């Protein structure tokens, strides 16, 4: 398996000072962007490394972190500052995509839901074309097809584990054992 994580290493050689970092000091982030490391070229990596180096030079290295009597809160703050630098450099230099909870893969979609979704979409488009009536044939078709689609989707979500097991059973029958093991690992993640 090939990892999309690029190794980052740095060394800190400085004298502790009273200067404080101008970077955010919290470790928690609500930003769910996923970096696309595999789309980067050498120029992007060089820019990333230079930018990260400049950010890390701004991090305050507390004198307590250099001594043997380390305070956990000081070390944690230092870690958070370094992590903030890496996060900022990654966000500013590396192409990324927004991770969304809508990226959920529904087992059984092709078997149970796909045709119903197409029918609901077609009925909805027809309903739009006639001016979104509040009653009548097109309204009833749109409403009924949407209900059937939602019922099929609910069935798949309610029977998630059974559908995954069925997919594994079919996969085992149709592909080699090596590829089956890989599929199993992917589903169990």
- Paired tokens of 161: 């584990």
Residue 149 has pLDDT above 70, yes or no: yes
For residue 165, what is the enclosing H or E element?
Answer: helix 160-174
The tokens describing 21, both together, are 């970092």
Closest to 86 (Cα-Cα) out of 20, 14, 9: 9
At residue 28, does pLDDT exceed 80? Answer: no
Q: How far is CA 166 from CA 113, 114, 163, 169, 183, in A?
A: 16, 18, 5, 5, 13
Residue 145's pLDDT is: 96
Q: Are 123 and 62 in contact (CB under 8 A)?
A: no
- The predicted-structure confidence for 91-100, as pLDDT tens digits, reads as follows 899 888 876 6
pLDDT for the residue numbered 177: 64
| Residue with the larger pLDDT of the pair 61 and 177 | 61
Is the pLDDT reported for residue 65 higher than 80? no
pLDDT higher than threshold 70 for residue 10: no
Categorize the per-residue pLDDT at 39 as very low, low, confident or very high, splitting at 50, 70 and 90.
Answer: confident
At residue 144, the pLDDT reads 96
Lowest mean pLDDT among 46-55, 58-67, 99-108, 116-125: 99-108
Residue 52 tokens read as 């990260």
**pTM assigned to the model:** 0.41
> Is the Cβ–Cβ distance between 148 and 125 less than 8 Å?
no
pLDDT at 169 exceeding the cut of 70:
yes
Q: Where are the domains of the chain?
A: 1-103, 104-188
Q: What is the mean pLDDT of residues 110-136?
A: 93
CA 130/CA 81 separation, integer angstroms = 58
pLDDT value of residue 96 = 86
Arithmetic mean of pLDDT, 88-116? 81
Gap between the Cα atoms of 91 and 30, Å rounded: 13
């Amino acid at each position: 398996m090939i990892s999309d994580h690029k190794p980052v290493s740095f060394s800190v050689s400085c004298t502790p000072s009273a200067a404080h970092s101008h970077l955010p000091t919290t470790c928690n982030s609500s930003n769910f962007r996923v970096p696309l490391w595999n789309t980067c070229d050498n120029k992007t990596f060089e820019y990333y490394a230079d930018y990260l180096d400049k950010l890390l030079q701004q991090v305050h290295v507390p004198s307590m972190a250099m001594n043997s009597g380390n305070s956990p809160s000081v070390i944690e703050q230092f870690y958070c500052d370094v992590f903030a630098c890496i996060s900022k450099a990654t966000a500013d230099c590396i192409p990324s995509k927004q991770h969304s909870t809508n990226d959920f893969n529904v087992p059984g979609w092709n078997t149970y839901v796909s045709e119903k979704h197409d029918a609901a979409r077609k009925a909805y488009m027809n309903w739009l074309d006639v001016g979104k009536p509040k009653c009548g044939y097109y309204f009833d078709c749109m409403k009924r097809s949407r209900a059937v689609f939602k019922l099929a989707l609910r069935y798949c979500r309610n029977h998630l584990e059974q559908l995954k097991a069925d997919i594994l059973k079919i996969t085992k029958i149709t592909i080699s054992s090596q590829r089956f093991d890989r599929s199993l690992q992917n589903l169990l993640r």
